[in-house]
Amino acid sequence: MPNRNHLANDMGTQHYATQLGIYDEMYATENKALPHWERFMAALEAMGSEQLELRRREAQRLLRENGVTYNVYGDAQNLTRPWRLDPVPLLISSEEWAIIEAGLKQRAELMDLILKDLYGPQSLLKKGLLPAELIFGHDGFLHPCVGALPKQQRHLTLYSANLARGPNGRMWVLDDRTQAPSGSGYALENRTVMTRVLPDIFRQTQVRRLSGFFHALQQGLVDIAPHNKEDPRIVVLTPGPLNETYFEHAYLAAQLGFTLVQGGDLTVRDGRVWLKSLAGLQAVDVILRRVDDSFCDPLEMRSSSQLGVAGLLEVVRRGHVAIANPLGSSILENPGLLAFLPRLSRHLLSQELKLPSIATWWCGQRREREFVLKNLDSLVIKPINRSLGNHAVFGGSLSNAEKELLRQQIIAKPHLFIGQEQVSFSTLPAFIDHHIEARNAVLRNFVVASGNEYVVMPGGLTRVARQKDNFVVSNQAGGISKDTWVLAKEPDKPLSIWTQARRPQLLDVASEPLTSRAADNLFWVGRHLERVEATTRLLRTLLQKLREALEFKDSIDTQCLAVLLRTLTQVTGTYPGFVKCADSLLQAPEQELLVLAKDGNRKGSLTANVQAFGQAAFNIRDLWSHDTWRSIDNIQRRWQQRVVNVELGVEQLQKNLDDLLTGIVAFTGLTAESMTREAAWLMLDSGRRLERALALIALLRSSLALRHEEPLQNQVLEAVLVATDSLTIYQRRYRAVLQLPMVLTLLLLDETHPRSLAYQLRELTAHIGVLPRSKGKSPLSEEEAIVLKAYTDLRLCNIQELILATDNAGIYPRLEQLLADTTQLLWRLAEVIAAAYFSHAQTSQLMVQTATEDEL
């Protein structure tokens, strides 16, 4: 019989139906809500469901704006999925938390001791306390790591566990996470958002703060540094933006003040790990890794991995770098271990296990195997190794043939399987479609070794299934997250994340090293952004001309339109486009124009460049200020929602182009006002200047470098001035006289005009001059020499000479030559910059004899 409560309100909490035999967080097994829930629910009910829905949406908006995402594998089209947050948190009383906290600390201690033994003396195996097959048969046991644990008080720096409450009301551990536990960043972000959307309720409820945990995490990582204990360099090693929890990697790096790196950003030399930064190699002391351990060193482990650092394990062996968690710690995620933990706890800690694990039978033992085979129908069967196509099955849901196959597999290699009890997790209230409903929940906790003890985050990441009665709670399956409120007896003072200096001092400004990968991405953010801007402005000019041509049916308008259409193809590089096309396309270009705006699959289209801009910016998510990220998100989202996802004609396109320009201006304004003029800015702005120069040249080459008759010439000149946002300034300077030499002077040579070629080259020269670079013996680096040549050639040119018509070829050959030469130099410049500064791009290869030579 469902348990119903008696509160009447519009949220339907009176219909909150718990299930018989399943524990509910709010009601326990009683008919009345637990006191701490009662107060909280009363506050929610006072608010009403409409208001709560508004708060929920506000939370989603904040999360989206902050760029909180969870990537779903195999979903390249729609790479990031917004993080979902339910406004009803999980409440845990302080009495109960004390029990959970003690249990987690004990378990972390136990795991640490097991790890130390397995990669050290292996006495647990030798004494028969753990079967050798369970360890040596698990993919997480990495042979090269034996004997490679550093001298530290604790080896397992990070520990995480998934908890759920069983029918008897006790908390059970479902599984242990020791490889590279994820979720703490999401938990922090959930909390940040909750305090903004439910500020009153949060304030009235005495909730334990999370900042202490992150402080402990910072300290814990400093603790394990083998060198530079005063100020170690700590990096967060991520597999990259395609990883499911990339947001969190970037977020934690930014929150904790660490450098976010990928494998290619690091290198091993002289037995140390170094960060490849724009300013040269910088020693790394600690790696917080989010790359699976077997991928971390292609030399000694998976040779095909491009995510790691060759030689890393050798550096670990020599004690010159600390990794949290150590390589090899995924052995502790072996679910077969659960069956042995009570015994190991007695042996290693002389204590009973405080938090029980879910009942587990390892099939490597005869009695346990027989039990599992006899009870296949009522158990969950899991292989101890997680891999593709190799996952847990509910025995009862198998057909007879499948069951027989599973039985055969277990008998053939019993040590690779476990049986587990099917547990009914507890339910808790969730706000689903304007109603409070009961959902099954799993709580992930986080523990970090810091100072002399393990510190547990008072809170965690609670996840519920979207569907009712669904026990599979996972982010990949589209679950919803919740904040977790551990109630305090007394108000908990928030702890600042800032480190307290021991005495007042003026620290040297340690400018954060810019990794070559970040430099690369910044450069491309600038280039893509400028491509978007140049295309947008030209397209806008073109649509205006198209309207005039249709309205006035003047042949000059039509001719000018044709020039602009061909120019658009040249500027965007979308050949053949309007170059060498049928007249019919020039007369009715609307369809092609829409494709060039909308189609993300068309290289050079606006959408393609907007997406490339967004991706490059996402790759360095940790470098942007909050507001800057919001402006990036705005540009992408509005374009996607208002142009890409809808049917629209060229008329509506015009308005959206204006909107896009506004978005770009917001971004450029924010970056100009908030970025320090250091390497990051130099890279971003160099990318912009380079691309703006190239776009301007492409525009001029297909418009003004061609000779036109007088009336057409005037129209083309005007269009070029509009497309370069230079019409107003031209008019102010030269009044109503529209002439080629003056337009060229303004657009090519005027160094005071931020859209002129000379301005771009001058800025590039200045930026490149201050980039860190060893020049060798020559006074100028190669990139300095190239940009100097381009700049000097331009300054030395004479406009009147450029437009001498030497033959009847229909072009101004000297102008064309200057522009073509400058293009070549700029392309070369981009190559040289990439080779000099983006060293992470160098790929590694495995050298091994592939064919076995042999003899008889």
Partner 1 sequence: MKYRITHSTLYHYSQPVGLCQNEARLQPRNVAYQRCEHSHFDINPKPLDLRERTDFFGNRVAYFAIQQAHTQLVVTAISDVTVLPKPNRPEQFSAISWEQVQTWLRETPLSGSGQQAEFSPELFEARQYVLDSPMIPISPDVAQYAQASFVPNRPLVEVVHNLMGRIFNDFTYDPSFTTIATPLADVLKFRRGVCQDFAHLGIACLRAYGLAARYISGYVETLPEPGKARLVGADASHAWFSVYIPDTGWLDFDPTNNTMPLEQHITLAWGRDFADVTPLKGIAFGGGQHTLTVSVDVLRLD
Cα 291 from Cα 307, distance rounded (Å): 7
HEC letters along 102-146: HHHHHHHHHHHHHHHHHCCCCHHHHCCCCCHHHHHCCCCCCHHHC
Q: Is 665 a binder of partner 1 (CB under 8 A)?
A: no
Give the three-state DSSP class for 702. Answer: helix
| Closer residue to partner 1 in complex, CB, 149/790 | 149
Using the contact rule CB under 8 A, the part of the chain among 154-162, 250-258, 309-317, 456-464 near partner 1 is 309-317
Q: Is 136 a binder of partner 1 (CB under 8 A)?
A: yes
Site map (CB under 8 A) of partner 1, residues 754-783, x = contact: ------------------------------
Give the three-state DSSP class for 449. Answer: strand
Nearest to 150 by CA among 115, 180, 179: 115
Cα 403 from Cα 685, distance rounded (Å): 63
Q: Is 310 a binder of partner 1 (CB under 8 A)?
A: yes
Among 21, 35, 74, 128, binds partner 1 (CB under 8 A): 128
Q: Is 271 a binder of partner 1 (CB under 8 A)?
A: yes
Q: Is 614 a binder of partner 1 (CB under 8 A)?
A: no
Among 317, 347, 638, 814, binds partner 1 (CB under 8 A): 317
Q: Please name the helix (run of DSSP H) or strand (run of DSSP E) that holds residue 40, with its range, or none.
A: helix 35-47
Q: Please name the helix (run of DSSP H) or strand (run of DSSP E) that holds residue 620, with its range, or none.
A: none
- By the 10 Å C-beta count (0-12 exposed, 13-18 middle, 19+ buried), 719 is classed as buried
DSSP 717-754: HHHHHHHTT-HHHHHHHHTT---HHHHHIIIII-TT-T
Q: What's the DSSP call for residue 514?
A: P
Using the contact rule CB under 8 A, the part of the chain among 45-53, 142-150, 219-227, 424-432 near partner 1 is 142-150
- Residue 243: cis peptide before it, omega within 30 degrees of 0: no
Among 133, 189, 293, 520, binds partner 1 (CB under 8 A): 133
Q: Is 269 a binder of partner 1 (CB under 8 A)?
A: yes
Q: Is 835 a binder of partner 1 (CB under 8 A)?
A: no
Taking the complex as a whole, the smallest distance from the CB of residue 299 to partner 1 amounts, in Å, to: 5
Q: Which of residues 288-307 bind partner 1 (CB under 8 A)?
A: 298-300, 303
Q: Which of residues 221-250 bind partner 1 (CB under 8 A)?
A: none
Q: Is 336 a binder of partner 1 (CB under 8 A)?
A: no
Among 413, 626, 677, 795, binds partner 1 (CB under 8 A): 413
| Closer residue to partner 1 in complex, CB, 104/148 | 148
Cα 835 from Cα 281, distance rounded (Å): 16
Q: Is 834 a binder of partner 1 (CB under 8 A)?
A: no
Taking the complex as a whole, the smallest distance from the CB of residue 145 to partner 1 amounts, in Å, to: 9
Q: Is 851 a binder of partner 1 (CB under 8 A)?
A: yes
Taking the complex as a whole, the smallest distance from the CB of residue 132 to partner 1 amounts, in Å, to: 5
Taking the complex as a whole, the smallest distance from the CB of residue 295 to partner 1 amounts, in Å, to: 13
Taking the complex as a whole, the smallest distance from the CB of residue 127 to partner 1 amounts, in Å, to: 6
Q: Is 855 a binder of partner 1 (CB under 8 A)?
A: yes
Q: Is 146 a binder of partner 1 (CB under 8 A)?
A: yes
Cα 173 from Cα 335, distance rounded (Å): 11
Q: Is 267 a binder of partner 1 (CB under 8 A)?
A: yes
Q: Which of residues 147-206 bind partner 1 (CB under 8 A)?
A: 147
Asked if 115 and 146 count as a contact pair (C-beta separation under 8 A), the reply is: no
Cα 333 from Cα 355, distance rounded (Å): 16
Cα 543 from Cα 590, distance rounded (Å): 9
Q: Is 490 a binder of partner 1 (CB under 8 A)?
A: no
What is the number of alpha carbons within 13 Å of residue 854 lying toward its C-beta? 4
Q: Is 388 a binder of partner 1 (CB under 8 A)?
A: no
| Closer residue to partner 1 in complex, CB, 35/128 | 128
Q: Is 270 a binder of partner 1 (CB under 8 A)?
A: yes
Q: Is 262 a binder of partner 1 (CB under 8 A)?
A: no
Pairing state of beta strands 322-324 and 286-289?
Answer: parallel
Binding-site size for partner 1 (CB under 8 A) equals 44
Taking the complex as a whole, the smallest distance from the CB of residue 830 to partner 1 amounts, in Å, to: 20
Structure tokens at 289: 């890794």
Q: Is 848 a binder of partner 1 (CB under 8 A)?
A: yes
Q: Which of residues 804-833 bind partner 1 (CB under 8 A)?
A: none
Among 187, 188, 268, 571, binds partner 1 (CB under 8 A): 268
| Closer residue to partner 1 in complex, CB, 736/847 | 847
Taking the complex as a whole, the smallest distance from the CB of residue 313 to partner 1 amounts, in Å, to: 9
Q: What's the DSSP call for residue 356?
A: P
Cα 339 from Cα 349, distance rounded (Å): 17
Q: Which of residues 87-126 bind partner 1 (CB under 8 A)?
A: 125-126
Among 56, 415, 527, 598, binds partner 1 (CB under 8 A): 415
Q: Is 401 a binder of partner 1 (CB under 8 A)?
A: no
| Closer residue to partner 1 in complex, CB, 138/165 | 138
| Closer residue to partner 1 in complex, CB, 112/300 | 300
CA-CA-CA-CA torsion for 797, 541, 639, 595, nearest 10 degrees?
A: -100
| Closer residue to partner 1 in complex, CB, 800/845 | 845
Measured CA distances, 279 to 110, 323, 836 (Å):
43, 24, 11
Structure tokens at 324: 């949290």
Measured CA distances, 36 to 58, 464, 486, 489, 599 (Å):
25, 20, 11, 12, 54
Among 140, 311, 326, 460, binds partner 1 (CB under 8 A): 311
Structure tokens at 340: 């042995």
Asked if 258 and 252 count as a contact pair (C-beta separation under 8 A), the reply is: yes
Quickly list H helices, 487-625.
516-552, 555-572, 583-587, 590-598, 606-619
Q: Is 856 a binder of partner 1 (CB under 8 A)?
A: yes
Taking the complex as a whole, the smallest distance from the CB of residue 153 to partner 1 amounts, in Å, to: 25
| Closer residue to partner 1 in complex, CB, 454/838 | 838
Structure tokens at 554: 């003047």
Taking the complex as a whole, the smallest distance from the CB of residue 268 to partner 1 amounts, in Å, to: 6
| Closer residue to partner 1 in complex, CB, 131/604 | 131
Among 95, 508, 709, 853, binds partner 1 (CB under 8 A): 853
- Residue 741: cis peptide before it, omega within 30 degrees of 0: no
Taking the complex as a whole, the smallest distance from the CB of residue 269 to partner 1 amounts, in Å, to: 5
| Closer residue to partner 1 in complex, CB, 141/471 | 141
Cα 663 from Cα 674, distance rounded (Å): 16
| Closer residue to partner 1 in complex, CB, 366/735 | 366
Q: Is 800 a binder of partner 1 (CB under 8 A)?
A: no
Using the contact rule CB under 8 A, the part of the chain among 132-140, 216-224, 490-498, 644-652 near partner 1 is 132-140
Q: Positive or negative CA dihedral for 402, 404, 407, 412? A: negative
Among 58, 314, 659, 718, binds partner 1 (CB under 8 A): 314
- By the 10 Å C-beta count (0-12 exposed, 13-18 middle, 19+ buried), 35 is classed as exposed
Asked if 340 and 156 count as a contact pair (C-beta separation under 8 A), the reply is: no
| Closer residue to partner 1 in complex, CB, 413/626 | 413
What is the number of alpha carbons within 13 Å of residue 21 lying toward its C-beta? 3
Taking the complex as a whole, the smallest distance from the CB of residue 737 to partner 1 amounts, in Å, to: 57
Residues making contact with partner 1 (CB under 8 A)? 125-128, 132-133, 136-137, 143-144, 146-147, 267-271, 298-300, 303, 310-311, 314, 317-318, 412-413, 415, 842-856
